[in-house]
Amino acid sequence: MPHAPCPAAARERRARASAHSVVTDPMKSVTKLGRAMPPPPLPSPGGDAAAEGVKRRCRETLDAHAQSIAQLQETHVQIAAELEAVASLAQRAVRAKAEPTSVAAPV
């Protein structure tokens, strides 16, 4: 009775065979896809309504991101100012603790 091939041995043979290959199977598939696909159509010179819609959505997205960035910058400036104020207060507290206090001598 013939015995079934060991799955681990089969995996090892495939691993050794693929270790010598520079191009992997997924890369071959991508290369084949790239050759099989026609080049994308060039945009029409007059400008499509769809292309204009995409441009408009991109502008809206960029504007929204610009607003977010401006708000983040403003928040950053506020946080930096508050942090500076807290650091100043902490330095004053440390200096006040370090200064000797005058205590009247007991009589």
What value does the mean pLDDT take over residues 8-35?
61
Q: Which residue has the tokens 């013939």?
A: 2
pLDDT digits (tens, 9 = 90+) for 39-97: 666 666 656 777 888 889 999 999 999 999 999 999 999 999 999 999 999 999 999 88
Q: Which residue has the tokens 């502008």?
A: 59
Does this model's pTM top 0.75? My answer is no
What is the C-alpha R_g of the chain?
A: 35
Q: Which residue has the tokens 């041995």?
A: 9
8 A C-beta contact, residue 63 and residue 69:
no
CB contact set of 43 (below 8 Å; sequence gap of 6+): 51
